[in-house]
Amino acid sequence: MSTKFPVELLTLGQLCLLLHRKPATVYSDIAAKRFDRLPPIVRLPGQRKLFWRKQDVHDWIDRHVQPAVAATVDMLRSRKAARQTDRVAEPQQARRSGRPTKREQLERRAASREGE
C-alpha cells in the first residue's frame, strides 16, 4: 500500500450517513443477498466487521445518478400519459357506493324535473 494513496475504509455508520439509510436496511440487504443495492463490501480476514472503501462508495453513487434532463422528460411524459388516461377514464367511472351527496341529490332532482 502506498503512503500517497491510503485506502480509506468506512464503517457501517459512516456508510449509512452517506447513503441516507438505516443500518437495519443495510443488514437486511446483505442478508437477502441484494448486493446490487449496496456498494462493494470489504471483508478483512479475521474480522466480522464490514467495511467499504470510500472511493468505491463514491463511484457507486456516481453510477446511480440519473441525469436531470432525462428525469424531467420522464416526469413530463408520465404526467401527459396520466392526463390522457384521466380523460378516457372520466366517462367510464362507476357510481360511488353509499349515499349520494346533497349536491348529487339536487342535481338528479333537477334533471328528472327537466325530463318531465
pLDDT tens digit sequence for 10-42: 999 999 999 999 999 999 999 999 989 999 999
pLDDT at position 77, please?
A: 82
Nine-digit cell string for 71: 428525469
Long-range contacts of 38-47 (CB under 8 A, 24+ apart): 39/15, 42/9
pLDDT at 87: 60
- The pLDDT of residue 24: 95
Task: Please tell me the predicted confidence (pLDDT) of residue 45.
Answer: 93
Angle at 19 between CA 16 and CA 25, to 5 degrees: 60
Q: Nine-digit cell at 94?
A: 362507476
pLDDT of residue 55: 93
The pLDDT of residue 74: 78
Give the mean pLDDT per block of 10 residues along the chain (116 residues). Answer: 74 94 94 92 92 94 80 78 66 75 92 81
Domains of the chain: 1-88 (1.10.1660)
